[in-house]
Amino acid sequence: MKNNMKKFLLYVLIVAGLVGCKSGDNGQLIGVKDRGLWFDFDPYGMAYIGMGSYQMGPSDQDVFYGLTTQAKTVSVQAFYIDDQEISNNEYRQFVMWVRDSIARRKIVEAGNEDFLYLENEDDPDYRQLNWETKLNWADPNNKEALNDMFLPLGERFYHRKDIDARKLMFEYWWVDLREAAKRVNRPQGLTDRSEFIKKDIINVYPDTLAWIHDFTYSFNEPMTNMYFWHIAYDDYPVVGVTWKQAKAFCIWRTQLMNNFFAMTGNTYVQDFRLPTESEWEYASRGGLASSLYPWGGPYIRNSLGCFLGNFKPMRGNYVVDGGFHSVKTNSYNPNEYGLYCMAGNVSEWTNNAFDESAYNFAHDLNMDYQYDAKENDHSALKRKVLRGGSWKDISWYLQTGTRTYEYQDTAKCYIGFRCVMSYLGRAKGDDL
């Protein structure tokens, strides 16, 4: 009996040993192996902003006594932010991508499948555009397929065969995580997550006529004619984009990078997005706790008497600060975080909805108030927070704590934007 028991125990130990060797964990909790290493990287053209807390709100008296910028201590996690405003040339890359993707689809619909490849063999119905095949606009075989992308004959000026900007429609998706988190509103037993995948289609071409319709009795036709397209303005901030166009740009930029990472075997990164106003103000202050302006101090001139930003100084002398309309995105000196034109040049869209009392009810952890306004919502619900002031504003709008708004479906010749990306991890150095 004893011998049988010994044999049994020996058998159990051998089996356990074999199982342990096979799994490689020796029966211990060690996590999933072969996960590889991850080192975050600095996205091109972006500056790293470490986590921190600061006193959000006015560093001076609110001249309107509107109490829309009350003081509030908030904490912000680490993130990246564009060190310059999105330029005409950068936004043009988005417009060209939309143009070329539409052209490729039209060529495929005409029967030429050289522009297609199967992305997933398990799902043969999922067909994606092949961007490695060169698009030849002059190819006679493609002429008929692409013909309706150009302006019709009756709308051409001096018979120029220009692209019809009204056709540049971008289809995009995002997951509404906030709606998904509202479990109380979900029907019992709902398991289809497609309900929270949102889709929108938007025209991506900037409103170049904003230079004219924003000002009465002002000659700005030259800016409408050339500002977005001419090489002379490549490095100037893009304007005439709505809040929704700026949001669509961020989604496209995310997919552009993640698609590249997927092809090279790398993991995805956090999404590009518009900054929350707490992130924007934190970055604008440049680590200077009580800074009235991004450059620090209460003055808008340096010790030599030179203006430090592009705005409307004195009694409307637009040129005395070195600007006129907008200026290049890297003009003037950056703040302590290396960010250019956080005050002046163009006002910037943030991701937040505007509410006068937002500081009272928004959380102090990554303060963020969002509302996804629908087309039939009241106009007051379509207000989005603007920060930074612009070339046509007086100095009060340049202050780090000043907040104002514009409607999400409007485009102005003095509003642009920059993108942010949340940092993957807690802080730099944690991944070493």
Residue 73 belongs to some domain of the structure: yes
Q: What is the pLDDT of residue 20?
A: 47
Residue 168 belongs to some domain of the structure: no
Residue 292 belongs to some domain of the structure: yes
Residue 131 belongs to some domain of the structure: no
Residue 354 belongs to some domain of the structure: yes
Residue 373 to residue 355: CA distance in whole angstroms = 13
pLDDT band, very low/low/confident/very high, at 255 (cuts 50, 70, 90) = very high
Asked whether 115 and 278 are in contact (CB, 8 A), the reply is no
Residue 231 belongs to some domain of the structure: no
Q: What is the pLDDT of residues 97-119, one digit of tens each?
A: 999 999 999 998 888 877 877 66
Does the pLDDT at position 127 exceed 90? no
Q: What is the pLDDT of residues 365-420, one digit of tens each?
A: 999 999 988 889 999 999 999 999 999 999 989 999 999 999 999 999 999 999 99
Residue 4 belongs to some domain of the structure: no
- Determine the structural domain holding residue 65 and report its residue range: 19-86+270-432
Q: Beta-strand (E) ranges in 50-162?
A: 52-56, 72-76, 79-82, 116-118, 127-129
In terms of pTM, does the model score above 0.85? yes
Residue 31 belongs to some domain of the structure: yes
CATH, residue 341: 3.90.1580.10
Structurally, how many domains does the chain consist of? 1
H helices of 110-176, in order, are: 140-146
Q: What is the 3-state secondary structure (H, E, C) of 383-430?
A: EEEEECCCCCCCHHHHCCCCCEEEECCCCCCCEECCCEEECCCCCCCC
pLDDT band, very low/low/confident/very high, at 135 (cuts 50, 70, 90) = confident
The percentage of the chain sitting over the pLDDT mark of 70, rounded to a whole number, equals: 88
Phi, psi of 417 (to 5 degrees): -165, 170
In the structure encoding, which two tokens stand for residue 257, read together? 């990078």
